[in-house]
C-alpha cells in the first residue's frame, strides 16, 4: 500500500472539523424550522403574550448555545437564526430555568410586555406593603420561582414576629398554601405565633395543583423552616405536591382548606379577614396567593352544589358520568379531552363565544376530531343558566336547552385580588417588560 502524502494527513483533521460543523449547522437549521413553525402557530392563535414572569432574551449577547431551549420543559424557547427566541409565551410558567442555563447571561426575567402591562404590588425588602402589617410573598408579589417564594415566606414571618398588636384573634393570617404560604406557616409555627392559614383549594400546593399531570416543575434546592435544606432539580407536579403533604404531616401544621378570603379590611391598626366560614382579626396578614387568583364563577343558581368544581384532577373518577366542561381556553379543551378518554363518560363542552380563540391550534384540532367522532358534543355561543342535582340548563344561541349532568368543570379563568388591594390602599405598579 503506497504511503499517503504528508499533506493528506494534515487535511484529515480539517475535513473532520468540516463534518462536525456541517452536522452542527444541519441541527441548527432543523431547530430553527421547528421553532419558526411553533411561532407561526402561536401567532395564528393569538397567544403571543406571556401570563406572568417570563424571559427576555438579549440577541446582542445570545450566542445560540440552545442551553435555554434544552432547559425549558414547556418548550417555550426555540432557536431561530442561531438566536434564542421566546416562541411559545402562553405556556411559560416563570420557573427561570432558561436564565440559569444561559452561559452568557443573555436572559433576564421580567413582568409584562410593551403591549400588556402586569400589575405588581409594591413591597419593601421586608415584604411589607405600604400598609403597615400587610405583607405579600410569592407569585402575587412577582416571584414565581419556588425556591425564592419559599425564602420570601420565611423572611416575611421573620419580620411579622417582630410586630405585636393586642386584641386580635391571631398574630398573623396567612392566605394561600403554595410554596410561600407553606414556608410562612412552618415559620409561624416554629416562632410560636398564633397563626391561621386559609386555602381556597381542597389541597396543598398552590398554583402547581393546576399544572397538567406529570408536568415537570423546575426548582433549585430550598431551605424550609423546621425541615432544613431540600435538594431538588427536576420534579413532577405529583412528586412536588407529595413533598408538601409529607412536610405538613411531619410538622403538624394546620391549614383550613376550602376556605377562601372574601374580603380584607384594615381598621384601628388590625386586619379583619372575612371568609364564607367566619370573620377573623389579626395583627398582620401575609398574602401568599398565586396569580391565577380566585376561580371565576358562573354566578348562576345551583353553582354551590358539590358537583361543580373549577379544576380537573383525576378524570377516571368520572367514568360513566355525564360531564359538562365550561370554557374556551386550553384548560377547558384539555379537560374535555381527558374526560372523553374515560370509558362510558359523556362529555359536553360549552363556550360562550363562536370560536376557541384562547386555545392552541393543536387543541382546537383535537376537539374538532373528537366532535366529529362523537366523543365530545361541542356547544358554541352557550351559557349555563342553572345547575340542578342531575341536569344543567343552558342558553344555546339564544334558545333554552337542558342536558343530563353529573359533574360540571368550570374553566373560566380567575380573578386576581389586585382590585381588593387597591381598595384598601396598597400601592400597585404596572410593569411593561421590567
Chain segment 180-213, per-residue pLDDT in tens: 899 999 999 999 999 999 988 877 776 666 555 5
Confidence of residue 219 (pLDDT cuts 50, 70, 90): low
Over 80: is that where the pLDDT of 259 sits?
A: yes
Residues 173, 46, single domain; the answer is no
pLDDT digits (tens, 9 = 90+) for 143-188: 667 778 888 899 999 999 999 898 999 999 999 888 889 999 999 9
How far is it, in rounded angstroms, from Cα 303 to Cα 296?
12
Over 70: is that where the pLDDT of 26 sits?
A: no
The helix (run of H) or strand (run of E) holding residue 119 is strand 118-121
Q: Is 16 helix (H, G, I), strand (E, B) or coil?
A: helix
- Average pLDDT of the segment spanning 335-363: 88
Residues 232, 257, single domain; the answer is yes
pLDDT digits (tens, 9 = 90+) for 39-96: 777 777 677 777 777 888 898 998 888 888 888 877 888 888 888 888 888 777 777 7
Residues 337, 362, single domain; the answer is yes
Provide the residue range defining the domain that includes 257: 119-295+416-431
Residue 263, beta-bridge partner list: 274
Residue 67 region by backbone torsions, left for phi larger than 0, else alpha for psi between -120 and 50, else beta: alpha
Kindly report the backbone phi and psi dihedral angles of residue 385, in degrees, each rounded to the nearest multiple of 5, phi listed first. Answer: -110, -25
Q: Give the dihedral sign, CA 139/142/147/150.
A: negative
Residues 182, 127, single domain; the answer is yes
Residues 135, 97, single domain; the answer is no
- Average pLDDT of the segment spanning 360-383: 91
Going by C-beta distance under 8 Å and a sequence separation of 6 or more, which residues neighbour residue 324? 347, 348, 349, 350, 384, 392, 403, 405, 407, 408, 409
Find out whether 92 and 211 touch, Cβ atoms under 8 Å.
Answer: no
Neighbours of 19 (CB within 10 A): 10
CATH number at residue 147: 3.50.50.60
Confidence of residue 422 (pLDDT cuts 50, 70, 90): confident
Alpha helix positions (H), 322-373 = 330-340, 361-372
Over 70: is that where the pLDDT of 220 sits?
A: no
Lowest mean pLDDT among 29-38, 333-342, 408-417, 425-434: 29-38
Provide the pLDDT for residue 286: 95
Q: Decide if 303 is inside a domain.
A: no
Provide the pLDDT for residue 10: 65
Over 70: is that where the pLDDT of 215 sits?
A: no
Over 80: is that where the pLDDT of 227 sits?
A: yes
Over 50: is that where the pLDDT of 1 sits?
A: no
Provide the pLDDT for residue 260: 86
Residues 105, 173, single domain; the answer is no
Find out whether 370 and 403 touch, Cβ atoms under 8 Å.
Answer: no
Only one residue has cell 417564594, namely 149
- Average pLDDT of the segment spanning 211-233: 70
- pTM listed for this prediction: 0.70
Q: Decide if 300 is inside a domain.
A: no
Over 70: is that where the pLDDT of 249 sits?
A: yes
Q: Decide if 289 is inside a domain.
A: yes
Residues 247, 286, single domain; the answer is yes
- Average pLDDT of the segment spanning 382-404: 95
Amino acid at each position: 500500500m503506497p504511503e499517503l502524502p504528508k499533506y493528506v494527513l494534515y487535511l484529515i483533521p480539517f475535513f473532520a472539523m468540516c463534518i462536525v460543523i456541517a452536522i452542527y449547522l444541519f441541527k441548527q437549521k432543523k431547530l430553527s424550522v421547528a421553532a419558526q413553525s411553533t411561532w407561526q402557530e402561536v401567532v395564528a392563535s393569538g397567544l403571543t403574550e406571556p401570563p406572568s414572569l417570563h424571559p427576555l432574551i438579549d440577541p446582542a449577547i445570545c450566542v445560540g448555545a440552545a442551553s435555554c431551549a434544552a432547559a425549558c420543559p414547556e418548550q417555550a424557547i426555540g432557536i431561530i437564526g442561531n438566536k434564542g427566541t421566546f416562541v411559545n409565551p402562553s405556556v411559560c410558567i416563570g420557573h427561570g430555568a432558561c436564565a440559569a442555563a444561559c452561559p452568557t447571561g443573555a436572559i433576564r426575567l421580567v413582568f409584562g410586555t410593551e403591549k400588556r402591562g402586569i400589575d405588581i404590588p409594591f413591597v419593601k425588602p421586608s415584604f411589607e406593603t405600604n400598609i403597615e402589617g400587610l405583607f405579600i410573598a410569592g407569585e402575587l408579589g412577582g416571584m414565581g420561582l419556588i425556591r425564592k417564594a419559599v425564602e420570601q415566606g420565611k423572611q416575611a414571618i421573620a419580620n411579622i414576629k417582630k410586630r405585636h398588636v393586642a386584641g386580635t384573634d391571631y398574630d398573623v393570617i396567612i392566605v394561600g398554601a403554595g410554596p410561600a404560604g407553606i414556608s410562612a406557616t412552618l415559620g409561624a409555627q416554629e416562632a410560636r405565633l398564633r397563626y391561621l392559614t386559609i386555602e381556597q383549594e381542597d389541597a396543598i400546593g398552590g398554583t402547581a395543583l393546576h399544572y397538567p399531570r406529570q408536568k415537570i416543575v423546575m426548582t433549585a434546592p430550598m431551605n424550609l423552616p423546621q425541615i432544613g435544606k431540600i435538594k431538588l432539580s427536576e420534579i413532577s407536579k405529583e412528586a412536588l405536591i407529595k413533598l408538601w403533604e409529607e412536610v405538613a404531616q411531619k410538622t403538624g401544621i394546620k391549614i383550613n382548606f376550602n376556605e377562601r378570603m372574601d374580603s380584607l379590611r384594615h381598621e384601628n391598626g388590625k386586619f379583619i379577614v372575612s371568609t364564607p366560614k367566619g370573620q377573623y382579626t389579626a395583627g398582620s396578614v401575609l398574602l401568599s396567593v398565586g396569580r391565577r387568583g380566585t376561580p371565576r364563577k358562573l354566578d348562576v343558581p345551583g353553582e354551590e352544589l358539590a358537583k361543580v368544581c373549577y379544576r380537573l384532577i383525576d378524570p377516571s373518577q368520572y367514568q360513566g358520568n355525564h360531564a359538562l366542561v365550561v370554557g374556551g381556553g386550553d384548560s377547558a379543551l384539555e379537560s374535555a379531552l381527558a374526560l372523553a378518554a374515560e370509558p362510558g363518560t359523556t362529555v359536553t363542552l360549552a363556550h360562550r363565544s363562536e370560536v376557541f380563540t384562547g386555545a392552541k391550534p393543536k387543541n382546537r384540532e383535537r376537539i374538532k376530531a373528537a366532535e366529529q367522532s362523537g366523543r365530545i358534543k361541542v356547544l358554541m355561543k352557550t351559557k349555563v343558566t342553572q345547575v340542578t342535582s342531575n341536569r344543567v340548563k343552558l342558553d344555546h344561541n339564544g334558545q333554552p336547552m337542558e342536558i343530563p349532568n353529573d359533574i360540571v368543570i368550570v374553566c373560566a379563568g380567575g380573578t386576581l385580588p389586585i382590585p381588593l388591594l387597591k381598595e384598601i390602599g396598597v400601592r400597585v405598579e404596572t410593569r411593561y417588560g421590567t
